[in-house]
Structure 1
Amino acid sequence: MSEYERSRTMPAQPEHVFDQAANVDRLDTWLPGALHVRAGDLPAVTVHEDRTDEDTAALLRARPDQMRLEWGTREQGSYAGWLQVAGIGSGASEVTVHLSFFDDGHDPGERAVGEALDSSLRRLEEQVRLRAEHEGG
Protein backbone atom coordinates (compact mmCIF):
# COMPACT_ATOMS: atom_id res chain seq x y z
CA MET A 1 0.00 0.00 0.00
CA SER A 2 1.21 3.51 -0.84
CA GLU A 3 -0.05 6.74 0.69
CA TYR A 4 0.52 10.33 -0.39
CA GLU A 5 -0.56 13.66 1.05
CA ARG A 6 -0.21 17.33 0.18
CA SER A 7 -1.58 20.53 1.72
CA ARG A 8 -1.98 24.08 0.47
CA THR A 9 -3.11 27.30 2.10
CA MET A 10 -5.78 29.23 0.21
CA PRO A 11 -6.87 32.83 0.81
CA ALA A 12 -10.59 32.12 1.21
CA GLN A 13 -13.09 31.06 3.84
CA PRO A 14 -13.22 27.26 4.30
CA GLU A 15 -16.89 27.09 3.28
CA HIS A 16 -16.07 28.85 0.01
CA VAL A 17 -13.18 26.48 -0.72
CA PHE A 18 -15.23 23.39 0.15
CA ASP A 19 -18.15 24.51 -2.03
CA GLN A 20 -15.79 24.88 -4.98
CA ALA A 21 -14.03 21.54 -4.36
CA ALA A 22 -17.26 19.61 -3.82
CA ASN A 23 -19.09 20.88 -6.91
CA VAL A 24 -19.42 17.63 -8.87
CA ASP A 25 -20.07 19.46 -12.13
CA ARG A 26 -16.79 21.38 -11.76
CA LEU A 27 -14.41 18.66 -10.55
CA ASP A 28 -12.65 18.66 -13.92
CA THR A 29 -11.51 22.25 -13.27
CA TRP A 30 -9.15 21.15 -10.51
CA LEU A 31 -8.61 17.39 -10.77
CA PRO A 32 -5.59 16.14 -12.70
CA GLY A 33 -6.20 16.82 -16.39
CA ALA A 34 -6.19 13.11 -17.26
CA LEU A 35 -9.16 12.34 -14.95
CA HIS A 36 -12.79 13.10 -15.75
CA VAL A 37 -15.67 12.42 -13.37
CA ARG A 38 -19.23 11.76 -14.53
CA ALA A 39 -21.84 11.77 -11.79
CA GLY A 40 -24.36 8.99 -11.75
CA ASP A 41 -26.78 8.45 -8.90
CA LEU A 42 -24.56 9.97 -6.20
CA PRO A 43 -22.52 8.79 -4.47
CA ALA A 44 -21.91 6.64 -7.59
CA VAL A 45 -19.64 8.23 -10.19
CA THR A 46 -17.60 7.04 -13.16
CA VAL A 47 -13.99 8.15 -13.50
CA HIS A 48 -12.44 8.16 -16.97
CA GLU A 49 -8.66 8.08 -17.10
CA ASP A 50 -7.15 9.37 -20.34
CA ARG A 51 -3.83 7.56 -19.76
CA THR A 52 -5.49 4.13 -19.88
CA ASP A 53 -8.68 5.18 -21.74
CA GLU A 54 -10.64 3.24 -19.11
CA ASP A 55 -13.73 4.00 -17.08
CA THR A 56 -13.77 3.00 -13.42
CA ALA A 57 -16.80 2.76 -11.16
CA ALA A 58 -16.19 4.89 -8.08
CA LEU A 59 -17.89 6.55 -5.13
CA LEU A 60 -17.76 10.23 -4.19
CA ARG A 61 -19.20 11.46 -0.92
CA ALA A 62 -19.34 15.06 0.22
CA ARG A 63 -19.61 15.66 3.96
CA PRO A 64 -20.34 19.42 4.18
CA ASP A 65 -20.68 19.36 7.97
CA GLN A 66 -17.05 18.16 8.13
CA MET A 67 -15.90 20.04 5.00
CA ARG A 68 -14.61 16.74 3.67
CA LEU A 69 -14.79 14.86 0.36
CA GLU A 70 -14.15 11.12 0.27
CA TRP A 71 -13.76 8.94 -2.81
CA GLY A 72 -12.61 5.55 -3.95
CA THR A 73 -13.06 2.74 -6.44
CA ARG A 74 -16.22 0.70 -6.05
CA GLU A 75 -15.59 -2.86 -7.16
CA GLN A 76 -11.89 -3.52 -6.91
CA GLY A 77 -11.12 -1.35 -3.85
CA SER A 78 -7.69 -0.44 -5.22
CA TYR A 79 -7.76 3.28 -4.52
CA ALA A 80 -9.22 5.79 -2.04
CA GLY A 81 -8.72 9.40 -1.12
CA TRP A 82 -10.03 12.36 0.77
CA LEU A 83 -9.90 16.13 0.73
CA GLN A 84 -10.24 18.10 3.96
CA VAL A 85 -10.74 21.86 4.25
CA ALA A 86 -9.93 23.60 7.54
CA GLY A 87 -10.17 27.25 8.49
CA ILE A 88 -6.91 28.72 9.75
CA GLY A 89 -8.12 32.23 10.61
CA SER A 90 -7.97 35.60 8.87
CA GLY A 91 -10.23 34.34 6.08
CA ALA A 92 -7.78 31.64 4.96
CA SER A 93 -8.06 27.87 4.69
CA GLU A 94 -5.79 24.88 4.52
CA VAL A 95 -6.73 22.15 2.06
CA THR A 96 -5.24 18.68 2.49
CA VAL A 97 -5.57 15.89 -0.07
CA HIS A 98 -4.68 12.31 0.86
CA LEU A 99 -4.48 9.35 -1.54
CA SER A 100 -4.15 5.65 -0.72
CA PHE A 101 -3.30 3.02 -3.33
CA PHE A 102 -4.09 -0.48 -2.04
CA ASP A 103 -2.96 -2.14 -5.27
CA ASP A 104 0.60 -1.32 -6.35
CA GLY A 105 -0.46 -1.77 -9.98
CA HIS A 106 -2.63 1.34 -9.71
CA ASP A 107 0.04 3.48 -8.02
CA PRO A 108 1.66 5.76 -10.62
CA GLY A 109 4.61 6.40 -8.28
CA GLU A 110 5.66 9.05 -5.79
CA ARG A 111 6.85 11.64 -8.30
CA ALA A 112 3.77 11.42 -10.56
CA VAL A 113 1.35 11.47 -7.63
CA GLY A 114 3.16 14.37 -5.94
CA GLU A 115 3.08 16.42 -9.14
CA ALA A 116 -0.61 15.60 -9.68
CA LEU A 117 -1.51 16.57 -6.10
CA ASP A 118 0.44 19.83 -6.26
CA SER A 119 -1.10 20.69 -9.63
CA SER A 120 -4.61 19.86 -8.44
CA LEU A 121 -4.29 22.01 -5.33
CA ARG A 122 -2.90 24.87 -7.43
CA ARG A 123 -5.80 24.53 -9.88
CA LEU A 124 -8.33 24.43 -7.03
CA GLU A 125 -6.85 27.62 -5.62
CA GLU A 126 -7.15 29.26 -9.06
CA GLN A 127 -10.82 28.25 -9.24
CA VAL A 128 -11.45 29.59 -5.75
CA ARG A 129 -9.83 32.91 -6.71
CA LEU A 130 -11.78 33.14 -9.98
CA ARG A 131 -15.05 32.50 -8.18
CA ALA A 132 -14.24 35.10 -5.51
CA GLU A 133 -13.33 37.68 -8.18
CA HIS A 134 -16.52 36.92 -10.13
CA GLU A 135 -18.72 37.20 -7.05
CA GLY A 136 -16.92 40.32 -5.88
CA GLY A 137 -16.97 42.11 -9.20
Structure 2
Amino acid sequence: MTTLNLEQTQIYRVRVTSQYGCQDETQVTVFVQNEIFVPELFSPNQDGINDLLTVLGDGIANIDFRIYDRRGVEVYRATTIDQAQVVGWDGTQQGQDLPIGDYFWSLSGQFLNGDNLQVNGTSSGRIRLIR
Protein backbone atom coordinates (compact mmCIF):
# COMPACT_ATOMS: atom_id res chain seq x y z
CA MET A 1 0.00 0.00 0.00
CA THR A 2 1.24 3.48 -0.83
CA THR A 3 0.52 6.45 1.42
CA LEU A 4 0.68 9.99 0.06
CA ASN A 5 1.06 13.26 1.95
CA LEU A 6 -0.92 15.62 -0.25
CA GLU A 7 -0.39 19.37 -0.17
CA GLN A 8 -2.77 20.52 -2.88
CA THR A 9 -5.83 19.39 -4.81
CA GLN A 10 -4.78 17.24 -7.74
CA ILE A 11 -5.98 14.58 -10.15
CA TYR A 12 -4.30 11.22 -9.65
CA ARG A 13 -4.29 8.13 -11.82
CA VAL A 14 -4.67 5.05 -9.65
CA ARG A 15 -3.87 1.50 -10.69
CA VAL A 16 -4.84 -1.38 -8.44
CA THR A 17 -3.55 -4.93 -8.82
CA SER A 18 -5.08 -7.86 -6.96
CA GLN A 19 -3.11 -10.76 -5.56
CA TYR A 20 -4.21 -12.72 -8.66
CA GLY A 21 -2.77 -10.18 -11.09
CA CYS A 22 -6.07 -8.54 -12.07
CA GLN A 23 -5.68 -4.81 -12.66
CA ASP A 24 -7.96 -1.83 -12.85
CA GLU A 25 -7.10 1.80 -13.41
CA THR A 26 -9.07 4.97 -12.78
CA GLN A 27 -8.63 8.69 -12.31
CA VAL A 28 -9.39 10.27 -8.94
CA THR A 29 -9.51 13.93 -7.91
CA VAL A 30 -8.29 14.38 -4.35
CA PHE A 31 -9.45 17.63 -2.79
CA VAL A 32 -7.13 19.01 -0.12
CA GLN A 33 -8.85 21.53 2.10
CA ASN A 34 -6.49 23.78 4.01
CA GLU A 35 -7.85 24.45 7.46
CA ILE A 36 -6.42 25.79 10.67
CA PHE A 37 -7.98 26.33 14.07
CA VAL A 38 -7.24 28.63 16.99
CA PRO A 39 -9.02 27.62 20.23
CA GLU A 40 -11.23 30.23 21.86
CA LEU A 41 -10.35 29.21 25.41
CA PHE A 42 -7.31 27.90 27.25
CA SER A 43 -6.31 27.40 30.87
CA PRO A 44 -2.58 27.66 31.62
CA ASN A 45 -2.84 26.26 35.15
CA GLN A 46 -0.37 23.35 34.83
CA ASP A 47 -3.07 20.66 35.09
CA GLY A 48 -1.96 19.15 31.77
CA ILE A 49 -5.20 20.09 29.99
CA ASN A 50 -5.24 23.04 27.54
CA ASP A 51 -2.22 24.63 29.23
CA LEU A 52 -0.83 26.00 25.96
CA LEU A 53 -2.51 27.95 23.20
CA THR A 54 -1.34 26.59 19.85
CA VAL A 55 -2.42 27.00 16.24
CA LEU A 56 -3.79 23.69 14.97
CA GLY A 57 -3.54 22.63 11.33
CA ASP A 58 -1.38 21.06 8.64
CA GLY A 59 0.32 22.24 5.49
CA ILE A 60 1.48 25.60 6.83
CA ALA A 61 4.41 27.13 4.94
CA ASN A 62 4.92 30.26 7.07
CA ILE A 63 3.12 31.98 9.91
CA ASP A 64 3.05 35.15 11.99
CA PHE A 65 0.73 34.66 14.98
CA ARG A 66 0.29 37.47 17.53
CA ILE A 67 -1.68 37.87 20.73
CA TYR A 68 -2.69 41.23 22.21
CA ASP A 69 -4.19 42.27 25.53
CA ARG A 70 -7.37 44.37 25.73
CA ARG A 71 -5.32 47.58 25.39
CA GLY A 72 -3.75 46.37 22.14
CA VAL A 73 -0.32 45.61 23.64
CA GLU A 74 1.35 42.62 22.00
CA VAL A 75 1.92 39.93 24.65
CA TYR A 76 3.01 37.00 22.43
CA ARG A 77 4.34 36.47 18.93
CA ALA A 78 5.18 33.29 17.02
CA THR A 79 7.01 33.65 13.72
CA THR A 80 7.85 29.99 13.11
CA ILE A 81 5.62 26.97 12.69
CA ASP A 82 7.32 25.32 15.67
CA GLN A 83 6.60 28.33 17.92
CA ALA A 84 2.95 28.49 16.84
CA GLN A 85 2.16 24.76 16.85
CA VAL A 86 4.49 23.11 19.36
CA VAL A 87 5.82 25.66 21.85
CA GLY A 88 2.63 27.75 21.99
CA TRP A 89 1.67 30.52 24.40
CA ASP A 90 1.54 29.72 28.10
CA GLY A 91 -0.42 32.79 29.20
CA THR A 92 2.64 34.71 30.36
CA GLN A 93 4.54 37.78 29.27
CA GLN A 94 8.22 38.00 30.23
CA GLY A 95 7.73 35.10 32.68
CA GLN A 96 4.80 36.73 34.52
CA ASP A 97 1.28 35.23 34.52
CA LEU A 98 -1.15 37.47 32.70
CA PRO A 99 -4.60 38.07 34.20
CA ILE A 100 -7.69 36.05 33.38
CA GLY A 101 -9.67 37.66 30.59
CA ASP A 102 -10.05 38.20 26.89
CA TYR A 103 -7.10 38.50 24.53
CA PHE A 104 -7.08 39.00 20.80
CA TRP A 105 -5.09 37.23 18.09
CA SER A 106 -4.06 38.07 14.55
CA LEU A 107 -2.66 35.70 11.99
CA SER A 108 -0.87 36.01 8.67
CA GLY A 109 1.03 33.55 6.53
CA GLN A 110 0.47 30.98 3.82
CA PHE A 111 -0.26 27.31 3.36
CA LEU A 112 2.14 25.22 1.28
CA ASN A 113 -0.11 25.72 -1.77
CA GLY A 114 0.11 29.53 -1.45
CA ASP A 115 -3.36 30.15 0.04
CA ASN A 116 -3.49 32.69 2.87
CA LEU A 117 -3.94 31.41 6.41
CA GLN A 118 -7.40 32.08 7.78
CA VAL A 119 -9.60 30.62 10.49
CA ASN A 120 -13.20 30.38 9.29
CA GLY A 121 -12.55 33.13 6.75
CA THR A 122 -10.90 35.59 9.10
CA SER A 123 -7.37 36.46 10.19
CA SER A 124 -8.19 37.63 13.73
CA GLY A 125 -10.23 36.57 16.72
CA ARG A 126 -10.68 36.41 20.48
CA ILE A 127 -9.19 34.07 23.10
CA ARG A 128 -10.31 33.70 26.69
CA LEU A 129 -7.61 32.92 29.25
CA ILE A 130 -8.89 31.18 32.39
CA ARG A 131 -6.93 29.58 35.23
- Specify the TM-score bucket, using the shorter chain as the normaliser: under 0.3
> With CA pairs under 8 Å and 6+ residues apart, which has the higher RCO, 1 or 2?
1
TM-score calculated relative to the size of structure 1: 0.27
